[in-house]
Structure 1
């Protein structure tokens, strides 16, 4: 009888120790998760703060010129959008008009003056080109949707390359060339990212060039997660 009692007590102690160990492991796991969440929250808050501060600096630098340039600053995307392609380029070509060259002469050095204050936080400075849809040509059957997209892609890419080339070769900027070349890129999107007004696509407004600033917050999050996996 006493042996049975002893065996039963030993099993109870064993089960208790397993339960305690599992509880301890769960507590450690919860603490690790909390630590990761807090770290990611800190990175996210730093990104939001940086984004807002950079937007404020861009607004302070360019707000007096936006109406003259027919441009606007998008706070959500950290982009400066030039909205009148007829002022920017020769019709259906990638040649920059004198009016746009004069804008870039003024705009680009001042843009770099602002962003270089954040140079360790900048991932890319994107020159983005966007075209509109040739709606009437598509409806009349003279061109397909795909052909229209491909033509728009060729034009938008050519235009952003022209802007990039002019900025690098013909404007004066207060920063070494190597840093700029490591950050600046030219991308054409054709008609894939149109402007919408009240939920409807505004094709004339979709013809535009944007200078978009991408922060490196995604990289910081990936670096942190990679460090945690090791």
Structure 2
């Protein structure tokens, strides 16, 4: 088998092309050039519909992985069908201070929920996100009564291939919500996303984020890339 050559190398690592997602496994990862100083390794493949459950890549546990998911076109064409509010309300932050508090609460919730599964890259990047990106992002806060119950955010970015995107940087529902409450929050977020995101919408979904796979699958997203990161 001919050794793969990267079609692009960014400051974070190389990108390779394969035909199918099923080709990405330990043998392939070990066969390509991936320098110790390069944080990420990516494989692009022919776009496939995001499944409602995590893709069963045969990637060793010593690595973290996530899939890059994209809306079929510009913005969100079809939001989720309306569902009962179930006591959930949502609105944008009223001020930067409230926005910052919500972001920090979402981060704490995420870290507590997923523990050691959280990739080191997310932990390292969060201080920079707080400093530079919270003020630039567009967000929706979900509430159960008066209590913050979730945060959805997107940010204008440029992808590694140069395309303009609305990157979903937060998709976090806090623990303790019922199934009906979670459905309501997701439904409201989908309508907000359709209203506010006008570029192609992108999101990185971690291997363990079952709710995110289900949500972005229901919005018709596709994936064409898996991004791998060393745990240490």
Q: TM-score, normalised by structure 2?
A: 0.28
Higher strand share: 2
Choose between structure 1 and 2 for higher RCO, CA contacts under 8 A separated by at least 6 residues: 2
- Structure number having the greater helix percentage: 1
TM-score, normalised via structure 1 length: 0.28
